[in-house]
Each structure stands twice: as C-alpha cells, then as structure tokens.
Amino acid sequence: MRPQYVFPVNLLAKLRIDGFLLGLFAAMAIGVLLPARGDAGEAVETATKVAIAVLFLLYGTRLEPREALEGLKHWRLHTTVLAATFVLFPLLGLAMKVLVPSVLTDELYTGMLYLCLLPSTVQSSIAFTSIARGNVAAAVVSASASNLLGIFLTPLLVTLLMTTTGAATVSANSVLEIVVQLLLPFLAGQLLRSKLHRVLSHTTLTKVVDRGSVYLVVYAAFSAGMAEHIWTGMKVTNVLAVIAVSVVLLAVVLGITAGVARLLKFDRADRIVIIFCGSKKSLATGLPMATVLFAGHPVGLIVLPLMIFHQIQLITCAMLAGRWGRQADAEAAEVDLAVARG
C-alpha cells in the first residue's frame, strides 16, 4: 500500500490557514530581507504597474454588462454600500484623529485615514457573498461600481481631507496616472470579454494573476520601505496599536452596516451584500494609488495600516461567510425535508 502524502494546500485547509494570508506575509518578509535596489527596484516598479493593469483587466472581464444593467434596479442597495464606503468610513477616519499621538503616530494615522477613503474590494466581496449564499449578482455590480467610482472619489477625498497634512499631493497628472493604470485596463476588459472567455474559464490562471499581482505590490511597498529606512524606527507597540484600531474599526462598520441593512428592510441576500461590500477596503486599488498620491513620502509606512486591516477583514469576513453559508444550507435542508414529508 502506497503511503499517502498530504500536500501543503490540503494541510493549510485542514489547519484553517488561508494560503493568501501566508503569501502576503511572505511577500512582506522577502521585501524586508531582500529589498530591490537600483535597477532591480525600477524593474519591480514597472512589473508592479503591469501586474495591476492585468488585474483590473480581469476585473473588467468579470462584470457582465447584462448584470450591470440588471443591478441598476437595486439602486437602494448600491447607494447604501457606497454610503458606507465613501461616507461612513471617512467620518470614522476623521474621528480617529483623537488617537494621535497617544495611540497612533502621525504617519500611522495618515495611513488609517487613507484606508478609510478607499473603495471596496472586488474579488473577496464577491467570494464571501457567494459562500454566505447572498446576492452574488448584486455583489459583482456593487463592488465593481465602488472600484470605478473610487478611481475618482478617492483622490477627491484625499484632496479634501488629507492635503492639509502635507502628506498627499493630488494633481491632474496624478489622477490621469490612476485612470491610465486602473480605469483603462478595466474598460479594456469589458471590450475583450468575449475574446477572453476561454482564458477566463481557467480559474487557476485568473487566481494566480489575481493573487500574484497583490503579492508583487506588497513586496514592492516593503522593499521601498527598506530602501528608504522607514522601518528602523518602527516599534512593536505601534504595530499592535494599528491592529487594535483596525479591529475596532471593522467591528464598528460591520455593526453599523448590519443594523442599517435591517432598518431599511433589505432581505437576507441583500443584507449580506451590504455587510461584505460596505465593510472592506481594496488592497489592490489602495497600494498603486498610494504610490501616486504620496510620491516622495514613505509609502510603505502609509500603506502598513491598509495591509494590516486587509488581513483582519479577510479573516473576519471568511469566518462570517462560512457561518452564514452553513446556516443557509441548514435552513434549505429543513425546508426540503418539510416538503418531502408534506
């Protein structure tokens, strides 16, 4: 009898360890231990821009035009998600100013405020909505709309709320660079949907591009941080403070979005969309935007709160999605059993 070997992926699944999180931590560690300098640093920067463009091209191909038109009928749902993303979060970000300097340093507060101005995620919002048995079509439209609007709203919010700190610089050129890097690939994906159908049917390929581009951006941010020597003054207590503030921030937003969704009498499937799309922030959008909006500043330190918040939101929402999905399956099984007996 042949011995059975457990592949690392299966082992991670049994231990309930997310491989994506491990990949992010590995990218951080490699960026710290083996930073790219000189010509290598420029090559990494170019590769990062290409990877992000490919990622947003994939995002564009995932949005079915018919779904988008159908999703416009759910304007109350999408308005609620956008309000959570671009109104509730920024207000909470401004309120966190009271934590400086007792809990957060000025640089880390800048990072916390910046993450509050970003659009929602696309991939994980859709995935968690599907796992929880929510309205997947609405999640696709809502998350995509959040990212498209975020290309313009995030620089606008940064201009209104952050330029007074001197950390951010928003100009017509910076907005144009963001549009070229994020919006044009998305539109290209929409135009090439039919031609890329066969390629997109290979989920492994899209998953590799999706995650690989984020890994590359994380590595580039931490590598640049090492080159700029911004980590030398970072204390463990500062990191723990960001973790604690991120946990509280996510808990508050999850509670408010769940409460508002019930108050507005959305059904279960739509409430799940509001909770998941309205409570998360996009790492894939936030990192390349930061390199443009905070050019000349320690970008690695500014995006550190975003990366920490991203891990926390993935872990928390994965647990919620799994629990709600099991509840939905159990309720469906009870209904089927009752029908069979009836």
Q: Give pLDDT tens digits for 56-108.
A: 787 777 777 777 677 677 889 999 999 999 999 999 999 999 999 999 998 89
Write down the pLDDT at residue 7: 42
pLDDT(205) > 80: no
Q: For a pLDDT cut of 90, what percent of the chain falls above it? A: 29
What mean pLDDT comes out for the span 206-234?
73
- Three-class SS state of 56: helix
What mean pLDDT comes out for the span 253-264?
97
167, burial (CB in 10 Å: exposed 0-12, middle 13-18, buried 19+) = buried
121-130, 140-149, 164-173, 254-263: segment of lowest average pLDDT = 164-173
6-20, 175-189, 210-224: segment of lowest average pLDDT = 6-20
Q: Do residues 281 and 81 make contact, with C-beta atoms less than 8 angstroms apart? A: no
Write down the pLDDT at residue 253: 98
Write down the pLDDT at residue 78: 93
pLDDT(251) > 70: yes
Q: Give pLDDT tens digits for 227-250.
A: 767 666 678 899 899 999 999 999
What mean pLDDT comes out for the span 314-326?
87
Orientation angle between helical segments 136-161 and 39-62, nearest 10 degrees: 130
Q: Which fold has domain 63-193+240-330?
A: Na+/H+ antiporter like fold (1.20.1530)
Residue 160 identity: L
217-226, 247-256, 301-310: segment of lowest average pLDDT = 217-226
Comparing 290 with 20, the larger pLDDT belongs to 290
Write down the pLDDT at residue 4: 46
Nearest to 48 by CA among 178, 221, 171: 221
Average pLDDT of every residue of the chain: 82
What mean pLDDT comes out for the span 175-192?
82
Question: CA 155, CA 168: separation in Å to the nearest integer?
Answer: 9
Domain ranges in the chain are 63-193+240-330
Question: CA 144, CA 199: separation in Å to the nearest integer?
Answer: 21
